[in-house]
Amino acid sequence: MLSTLLHNHLLSWPVDWTAVFDREAPLIIEIGFGGGHFLVDLAQRRPLANVLGVEISLPALDKAQRKVQTAALSNVRVLQSDARYLLQALCAPESIAEVYINFPDPWPKARQLHRRLINEEFLHLLATRMVPGGLLDIGTDHADYALAITEALEATPYFHSRLATTFVTEDNERLRTKYEQIGLDEGRICHYYKWARRETAVPNPYPVPKEFPMPHVVLHTPMDLDAIQARYGRMRTNDEARHVSFMELFRANEGDALFVETYIKEEPVAQRLGLVIRQREPGNYVISLHELGFPRPTVGVQLAIAALARWLVSLDDEAHILHHNLPSQMLEVDVIHAA
């Protein structure tokens, strides 16, 4: 039997779920499964479906994995991931048959509202990944979040209610989740939404991110590594869609390379990785991606390598790029020194 626990760094963009589950079947996803009782129950009730549970909490993942193994289920997998990343990077358009979001974190304080998972933009992303007619079930025991979910669902053109109303406040047909039971015990009214993706086409502004061949730049500069290291300071790029920050710089033990700790944020992917400036012979350097930590060679990584090369070339009049495998316009990227 294949392992229940999926490892994010081994999953391609998008994932071939048929290969992961070792069979073709409708894909059902539970987002934020917490204790995992509902996930296990779902998989037991739906033996003909491939059931995927996604959680950001590692302890929750561990517990759910043990529950799945005790129940000897072969149609369920669990993955540590943020739901938005799962949907945009790991799921192909029109690939998900059903989605369950049970009692998502309400983030009740005004300054936390932006952290709430469900809003119109999220519903749009979800709609791009769900099959036409796919089912979406949401529950919440938080009155204010319920108002926001109601507003978002009523505003989105991509879903419609399967009920005569936007929501109901009782649902005794499904297994109660832990947070649902807490809400009921504490006297709160639960809101249950049973919606479906419309059959009409959904515009897709959320492309699956791409990976490129390992990027590199080869350049000439008369500077040696000590001189480069002495000129280095924290920097970032000014690109709106992709944020690149160059942080600490380290000298490799063998002495022929510099390692630049780099943070890259490009929705829905965030990576902290290492770029390497390696001296091949005096005056000749290659800038590339270190393989530590399974980095993904995205557009953001290409941009980071281009920015580092451009900075290096700017340090000396004789410095110039010899060759590279990046889109050429990227080498015009500007770097800004941190204050």
Options 105, 171, 256, 316, the catalytic residue: 105
215 binds ligand SAM (CB under 6 A): no
Residue type, 130: M
Measured CA to CA in angstroms, residue 61 lies from 55, 164, 297 at distances of 7, 36, 27
Residue with tokens 């800004």: 336
Contacts with ligand SAM by CB under 6 A: the residue count is 21
**With 0-12 CB in 10 A as exposed, 13-18 as middle and 19+ as buried, what is 78?**
buried
Q: What part of residues 115-174 is at the interface with ligand SAM (CB under 6 A)?
A: 117
Structure token digits, residue 326: 């990046």
Residue 310 contacts residue 287 (beta carbons within 8 Å): no
Task: Select from 26, 35, 93, 283 the one that contacts ligand SAM (CB under 6 A).
Answer: 35
Contact string 61-90 vs ligand SAM (x = CB under 6 A): ---------------------xx-------
Q: Who's near 167: CB < 8 A, 6+ residues apart?
A: 146, 150, 161, 191, 192, 193
**With 0-12 CB in 10 A as exposed, 13-18 as middle and 19+ as buried, what is 258?**
buried
Contact string 236-265 vs ligand SAM (x = CB under 6 A): ------------------------------
105 is catalytic: yes
Task: Select from 29, 73, 91, 104 the one that contacts ligand SAM (CB under 6 A).
Answer: 104
175 binds ligand SAM (CB under 6 A): no
Q: Of the two residues 108 and 157, which places its CB atom closer to ligand SAM in the complex?
A: 108
Give the residue numbers annotated as catalytic, written as ranges. Answer: 105
Tell me which residues touch ligand SAM (CB under 6 A).
Answer: 31-35, 54-57, 60, 82-83, 102-105, 117, 177-180
